[in-house]
Every structure is written in structure tokens, then in C-alpha cells.
Amino acid sequence: MKKKLIALGMTLVMGLSVAGCGSKGEAPVQTPAAQTEAPAEDAKREPAGQIIIGSSSETSGDITPFWSNSSSDYDAYKMVDTGADTVIMTKDEEYIFNMNVLAEEPQETENEDGSKTYTYTIKDDLKWSNGEPITAEQYVFKALFLGSPVVATDLQAGNAIFDVQYIDGIDEYMAGETDTLRGIHLLGDYQFSLTVRADKLPFFYGRHLATIGPMYMPGWVPEDVEIIETENGAKFNDKFTAEYIKDTVEAERWNPTASCGAYMFDNYDKSAYSYTLKANPNYVGNFEGCKAQIETVIIKYTPQDTMMDEIKTGSVDYLLQTSDGKEINAGLDMVEVGTHDYISYPRNGYGQLIFKCNIGPTQFTEVRQAIAYLLDRNEFAKTFTGGHGGVVNGMYGNSQWMVEDAADQVAELNAYNYSKDEAVKVLEEGGWTLDKDGNPYSGTGLRYKEVDGKLMPLSIKWCSSENNSVSDLLVTMLEKNPDVAEVGMEINQNVVTFSELLEAYHNDKDDYNMFNMGEGFSVPFDIAEQWEINGSYNYNRIADEQLAKLAADLNIIEEGDDETYLATWVQFQQRFNELLPNLPLYSNEYHDFFLTKVKGAEGKNDIWDMSKQIVYMWIEE
């Protein structure tokens, strides 16, 4: 596989220095390539100091991602709970076995049915943050717990399956057809096996499918819930019921009692929307042996309307992923003064309009296309990013190597350039040709379409979050755009909190047709579940066989077969561009601003994120 992500996402640095995991005194600026070398022992610091990280994404306190958490919640989760995975990603986006955790290279067995079994032996001296041992049972627990319908359905943790979706037998187990998960076996105190399902192989991102980490079993379930090993796989005893475990699950969900990552959960301040994390003394280190050098990390919600004041006054030390052009220019002014530094990097994602494709007018492709024609996205991107970004016409961000390698095909995607006439044309082609009385549309008022024997008005219910500059710009350029009314459409905005928006987006109700949110693409770029017909993660509720197949086919390609991968990626983008289940608004150049006392940030980008870079950072008082 081509390793162009780091090259495309190389960070711009102003006045920074780093040496491995840290430095005593002055050190030269290193390139990302230089940083892949293991750090010298004398370059590792004992944890000290504090950093307050500000994020424009509102925190909820729901730190575990199995229910519904924001990107800020997820940033905190990754810092505390992803330190003992069996497979980890390097800075070159290669997936390697985590020999900090494993006692030996795993045994890999190709099975007759096309599945593949990994037999893992973990080290016998691994510890949770509270000093208790990490055992094989806790890896098996994660698979059984997250894949169980008791958790996913009865306890409404719909996102839980995501971490274990590749395990053989997971579909039958999650559906409740069996209480035994055949793809996971507990073989001893420090040994277990995991079998990757045949229909997910081959996989373009190699060993990633063999990734699993431990979950702190004593925190999540009562002590008499046990794991039973059988010849057909592992299972829980009969104590594992929703009624019996719900209290311990709810407590651990909001207040994790033990961690295996670089940091451990300390508290969540509901009034300040902030997490406080402390350095984990028992963390085994990342792939280069780096451990936390900052004692306390605070992740807090920093609203867009106050974020630049907060970074200027030092209320926050580090401001993540600034994207608004006005804010970026204000930050660059601080850098010029000399009080602040910054890094910038292309976004692995975009801002977008999201459509529910199974209800109301937005269930019809022509309506989604008409909305695209009625929004001048070039002007929108220019205004919002202040020139630090631009329009994309598919499900991609400019940090991805595919964009460069398929530049000609990407340029040929429909740009949906602003055109009231094109909007009218696609609406008429889609059957929006009637008025409220069922007569031919006269050119004034709302358009209607006959759907299942009833007249449906061309009225879009839009849900947006409060204190959001993207929403404010959409009001001006879309909702109140006179051309929207002139083509026979109306868009009605409803402003809610971000948590309420997420809840509305995830549920199956027909409250809203359209949302505006950002999306960061997964690493690796695995989108099969997102577009699977009736899939748990298909929140757009789109049911298009071609789109679903292309999304699934994208990953079932041999590692290293870039040509096939790129061709499939292009076909997916073409279909996405035609259907527009989401309408990309902009993919921007992120800027992180921070006080000059913050050192070691320059390896970070939108793929190697803060949860990975934090162990290379320190505070210089």
C-alpha cells in the first residue's frame, strides 16, 4: 500500500523543537521521517505539567464511544483506552503487531473456509492503571461484550459492534442466534485466539482486522459474570443479562475505573464540559517506546465564539483543528507577535450536509441534487475557510493519497455548480411538478410530488447545532437564499444542542431530513458499514446496492494492490457523487494554535492525531 498520507499531510511548523519523545534543552526540528526512529533513553521525560486542550466539538461526558459520543469525547477515550491493542498503527500508516504487549509473534493460521486465526500470547506483567493485571480474559471479554445483543440492543449501545465486526461468527452472535462467539477462544491466563471472518478477507489494510484490546472486566460487569470456554468458542455464563449488568455498565460508561492507554480517566466536569486525564504509570508505551511526558491533560469544549479569546488569554493552551478563516487569521496574528505557535495540515474529512435518504423529500436523489445546485459551495468554502480550504465533490479529504493518484478522475466529478435552472430541471425530472391541490405547478409556492397516493410538499426539515458558524453561513446562503423559494422549495432550520443533534441523527425517527456536521474519515478508510443496506452505521438510511457493494469491495483487496484499490475507489466516488447521500461543503486546512510553552506537536496531522502525538509532547515552563 502506498504510504502517501504522511507526505501529503506534512505539518507546517513555526518555532518548534522536538527530540524523540521529548528533549532536555534545545533540539533541532525533526521531520516526520526522523521521528520514526526510537527515542534515546535520555530523551524521555517523567510526566510533568498540564495542558488544556480546547476543542470546538462539545463534550458530553459519555467517554466510551459505544453509545453516542462526540469527537472530543472520542479523543479522550483514545488517550485512556487504546494502549494495549494487539495491532497498532505506525506513523507511516502501517499496521504492526504490538510487541510491547505480545510475548511472542502470534501464530497465524489460514482456515479451510477462508477465515484466518491469530493465536496471541500476551506478556504476563501487563497492568491496568490501577495496578491490576491485564489478562487474556479481558481481551476475550471485549469481543463477547461489544458483540452481544444484550449490550448493543438491550442496553442500546448501537456503536459497540464496530470494534469487533470482523470476528468470525459475530453476525449470528449479535443477532442472538447463539450465545457463543465462535471466532474467539480463551486458551489460558495469557493466551487467546481471534479468527477473522472469511468475507472480510483479503483486506487492503493488512493486519488491522486482527486488532483487539482489553476491556476492564471488573468495572463493566459484576464479579460473578464469568467467561466459559467451549470447543465452539467463548461465551458468558447465565449471569450476563441486561437487567443484571445495567448498573455496572452505566457506571463504567461515564466513569472508567481503569485504563490501559497513555492516560487514565480522572474526572469529567459537567459545568465546564471538560475531561481531566492523568498520566498512566503502567502504560507500556507506543511503538517507539514513548510514554506520557505531560502529567495532566484537560480536554474541554471551547465554543467557536470564544475560542480565539481563550487561546489568546491562556484559558486554553492548545486549540485543536481551527477551520474558520477568521479564526485562523486571528491565530496567525498571535503567532506573528511571538506568543503562540501553530501547525497546519490537510483535513482527513470534510464539512457536509447529511441527508436522511428514507424519509421526506430527501429520500429522492433529485431533491438532494437540487439542494446542491442551490448552494454556491465554492463561495461557501471560500468564505468559511478564508482561503484555507476548498470544495470536494465526493467522500474524500485532501490528505488521502487516492486524491493525488486519481486527480484526473476526481476533476471529472460533477461539481454541481450553482444553477437555479439545473435545480428546476432535476426537480421536474424527479416528479416535483404539482401544487398543493395536485394541479400542475404554476411556478409559485411550494412544489409537491405524489408519493404513495398522497401529495408530499418540497419542505426540508433541517437540524443544526447552536453556536455553529457553518450553520450561520448556511442560513444566509441556503435557507434564506431567494432562489430556494423561487424553485418551489422551503428549508426550515431547527437549532438544538450538539448532543441533541447527534441523538436525532442516530435515531430512526422522521423528525429531520437534513443535518450539517463535520466528518472525519476512519483510519483505515473502512466505509463498508456506513453504506451497508440496513446496516447499523448507515445513518443516512440509503439503500443503494451499487454504493453498498463498492464500499464493501473497497477493502476486500489484497494489501499492496494499489491499482485495483484506486479503480474501486474512483467508482465509489462516482456513485456517491451521483446519489449525494451527503453533500460535501468544504475540506479545509486545519490549523492548531498553541502557547509557545507547548513543545513537540509537529508530528501531528489529521491521521496521526492528538491521541497518538500526545506522548511526544511536553510543557516547557
Does 18 score more than 50 pLDDT? no
pLDDT of 135 strictly over 90: yes
pLDDT digits (tens, 9 = 90+) for 144-153: 999 999 999 9
- The domain made up of 43-83+261-347+597-620 has a fold known as D-Maltodextrin-Binding Protein; domain 2 (3.40.190)
Say if CB 555 and CB 526 are below 8 A apart. Answer: yes
Please state, for a pLDDT cut of 70, what percent of the chain lies above it: 93
Look at residue 43 and tell me whether its pLDDT is greater than 60. no
* Closest listed residue to residue 51, CA positions, set 277, 205, 244: 277
Q: How far apart are the first and last CA of the chain?
A: 42
Determine which of 36-50, 324-338, 395-409 has the lowest per-residue pLDDT on average. 36-50
Instruction: Give DSSP secondary structure letters for 180-234.
Output: EETTEEEEETTEEEEEE-GGG-S-TTGGGGG------HHHHS-TT--EEEETTEE
CATH 3.10.105.10 domain extents, the chain: 349-588
Q: Is 5's pLDDT higher than 80?
A: no
Instruction: Work out the average pLDDT over 546-553.
Output: 97
- Mean pLDDT (the chain, rounded): 91
Mean of pLDDT values over 569-573:
98
Radius of gyration of the chain (CA): 25
Q: In the predicted model, is pLDDT for residue 196 greater than 50? A: yes
CB of 391 closer than 8 Å to CB of 381: yes
Confidence of residue 21 (pLDDT cuts 50, 70, 90): low
84-255 — its CATH code? 3.90.76.10
CA 600/CA 591 separation, integer angstroms? 16
CA distance 297 to 265: 10
Decide if pLDDT at 38 tops 70: no
**Confidence at residue 567, expressed as pLDDT on a 0 to 100 scale:** 98
486 or 70, greater pLDDT: 486
Give residue 137's pLDDT band: very low, low, confident or very high (50, 70, 90).
Answer: very high
| DSSP summary character for residue 38 | P
Residue 104: how many CB atoms within 10 A of its CB? 12
Q: What stretch(es) of the chain map to CATH 3.90.76.10? A: 84-255
349-588 placed in CATH 3.10.105.10:
yes
Q: What's the pLDDT score for residue 31? A: 30
Which of 5-9, 136-140, 359-363 is predicted least confidently? Answer: 5-9
| More confidently predicted of 588 and 421 | 421
> Is the pLDDT reported for residue 29 higher than 80?
no
Which residues on adjacent β-strands are paired with residue 461?
492
pLDDT over 50 (residue 30): no
For residues 388 and 394, give the distance between their C-alpha atoms in angstroms, rounded to a whole number: 19
Q: What angle do CA 72, 138, 259 make, to 5 degrees?
A: 35
Alpha helices in 430-496 (DSSP H): 469-474, 482-486
For 305-353, write each residue's pLDDT tens digit. Answer: 899 999 999 999 999 999 888 999 999 999 999 999 999 999 999 999 9
Q: Please, which residues have CB within 8 angstroms of residue 233's CB and are 6 or more apart in sequence?
A: 169, 180, 181, 182, 183, 184, 185
> Which DSSP letter does residue 400 get?
S
Give the count of beta carbons closer than 10 Å to the beta carbon of residue 492: 12
Task: For residues 479-496, give the mean pLDDT.
Answer: 97
Cβ neighbours of residue 439 under 8 Å, at least 6 residues apart? none
CB atoms within 10 A of CB 415: 14
DSSP alpha helix (H) spans, 374-417: 377-385, 401-405, 407-411
pLDDT score recorded for residue 138:
98
Q: Which three cell numbers stand for residue 350?
A: 470534510
What does the pLDDT read at residue 57?
87
pLDDT attached to residue 13: 35
**What's the pLDDT score for residue 116?**
97
Q: Which backbone phi and psi does 371 adopt, to 5 degrees?
A: -60, -40
Q: Tens digits of per-residue pLDDT, 288-300?
A: 999 999 999 999 9
Where in the sequence of the chain do the CATH 3.40.190.10 domains occur? 43-83+261-347+597-620
